[in-house]
Structure 1
Amino acid sequence: MQERYRTVAHEGVHEIEINKSRFICALAPAATEQEAQEFVQRVRAEHATATHNCFAYVIGADGAVQKAGDDGEPGGTAGVPMLQMLLRRDVRYVVAVVTRYYGGIKLGAGGLIRAYGGVVGEALDTLGTVVRQRFRLVTVVVDHQRAGKLENDLRATGRAVREVRYAEAVSIEVGLPESDLDAFRSWLADATAGTATLELGGEAYGEG
């Protein structure tokens, strides 16, 4: 797994007008290729009367899955420049759909490439991006007496508390950078006088 990746902060829309044609870019984070395809279908349904609904998406922190579609625009003038913009900006797990309402003036191949790539770039600037860091999930099991203070201490030291479960004991799930594990073990032993146990879980991404 990659240590970190950048993605779009949240779903949103950005619109520009060029020579009377409207270019509306809808961007969204997508965890899987299926999510990306569902977003493309949703935007196409919303803009069923549009001249074109072109798309591009990049799935995987390493950019393993890359797809683009021109939806009737001349080959390579829409989906590919959109995809290139996503890759140039180094964003992953992201889907972009650019809806075009034709305004009666042809833009030519160069104009289309600039328009489709440009509106995606502007949309990324407008919506913003976030970096997600790879974490090892660990579960701290501690008695009820110490749980409240420990949870506060975890948050105060900037650690990513993901879930707290109350049973006979209290389980607190935390996301840690792999390199922080040894230091965390020592910190936890000090903070709980050695009474807490630590269980290692899988890996996940969170905002870093």
Structure 2
Amino acid sequence: MGKIYKTLLGYGVAEVEIKKSKFIGHASPVASEEEAIKFIEKIRAEHRLATHNVYAYVVGENDEIQRFSDDGEPSGTAGMPVLNVIKKQELKNVVVVVTRYFGGILLGAGGLVRAYTKAAKMGIDAAGIVEKIPAKELELTFDYNLLGKIQNELLRRDYLIKDISYADKVIITLPVVEEKVSEFKNFITDLTASRCDIRVKEDVYLFKKDGKYIL
């Protein structure tokens, strides 16, 4: 599976006014260049009366695709600063669009760079930076008399339970960080005296924000 990298948790938007111009930073995670382009087109449609819709995006595990556009602003004052914000934060699979509604006061080259940098950073902060960590989805199947013990230990150790189903036996589905799957299997086997069936289902990702795992 892939490696750990930083990206965004979801869509974020933030607005700032600088010398009567309104700058709106939009940021979102994407899985492909096609998704990035669709996001840009969506923002353009929503803000078709804006003076500029500047964008930048980085896609790929090794930043294979990097694109930006000044959208009519002086060369180097808009798209590249937005791209630099993404790269400085070491984000992958991310698109940022900064919408500008001109307020009648020229900002100059330095002012534009600072304004687009600030709006991009605000949009990214609103979206929330997370680590995306390769994991495996595991399925635990066991008798009802083990439910309390297993559930309590999973919660005590901060494992995230995705689902619990109740049929002939209890089935708990949860993600486990890829490199800790073997350790987890040993822990469950010892806890239940080998009375729990453990099945590895599929590759998934966990998100880590502020030191805590989230689904």
TM-score in same-fold range (> 0.5)? yes
Q: Is contact 2:52–2:99 with CA below 8 Å preserved after alignment? A: yes
Q: Verify: 1:102 aligned to 2:102, yes or no.
A: yes
The aligned residue for residue 202 of structure 1 is 202
Aligned length, in residue pairs: 208
TM-score, reference length from structure 2: 0.83
Secondary structure at the residue paired with 2:140? strand
> Relative to 1, partners in 2 of residues 1:206 and 1:61: Cα closer, same or farther, differing over 3 Å?
farther
Within 5 A, what are the aligned runs for 1:5-44? 5-44=5-44
Q: Give, as a single letter, the amino acid of the residue that structure 1 aligns with 2:33.
A: E
Instruction: Compute the displacement of 1:10 (Å).
Output: 3.6
Deviation at 1:50, TM superposition (A): 0.4
The corresponding residue for 1:163 is: 163
Q: For the residues of structure 2 that align with 1:174 and 1:127, how far apart are their CA atoms?
A: 25
| Aligned-residue CA RMSD (Å) | 2.4
Displacement of 1:141 in angstroms is: 2.2
Please tell me whether the aligned partners of residues 96 and 123 of structure 2 are also in contact (alpha carbons under 8 angstroms): no
Match of 1:50 in 2: 50
Aligned pairs for 1:1-208 (under 5 A) are: 1-208=1-208
Tell me the TM-score normalized by structure 1: 0.85
Counterpart code for 1:112: L
Letter in structure 1 aligned against 2:101? Y
Preserved CA contact (<8 Å) 1:2 1:62:
no
* CA distance in structure 1 between the partners assigned to 2:39 and 2:101 by the alignment: 19
How many angstroms apart in 1 are the aligned matches of 2:96 and 2:167? 44
Structure 1 residue 70 displacement after superposition: 2.1
SS at match of 2:155: helix
Instruction: Between 1-10 and 90-99, report the one with greater CA deviation.
Output: 1-10
Question: In 2, Cα distance between the equivalents of 1:61 and 1:165?
Answer: 35
Contact 1:138 1:174 in 2 (8 A): yes
**1:72 positional shift:** 2.1
Structure 2 unaligned residues grouped into runs of 5+: 209-215
Partner SS for 2:161: strand
Post-superposition offset of 1:126: 5.0
Residues 126 and 185 (structure 1), Cα distance of their counterparts in 2 relative to 1, 3 Å cut: closer
In structure 1, give the amino acid aligned to 2:155: R
Cα contact 2:28–2:127 (8 A) shared by 1: no
1:72-108 deviation line (CA, Å, top 9, x unaligned): 2233322221011111011223221100111223333
Give the letter for the 2:189 counterpart.
Answer: A
Deviations 1:93-131 (A, max 9, x none): 322110011122333333322221222123334554222
How many angstroms does 1:25 deviate by?
0.7
Q: Distance in 2 between matches of 1:126 and 1:40?
A: 17
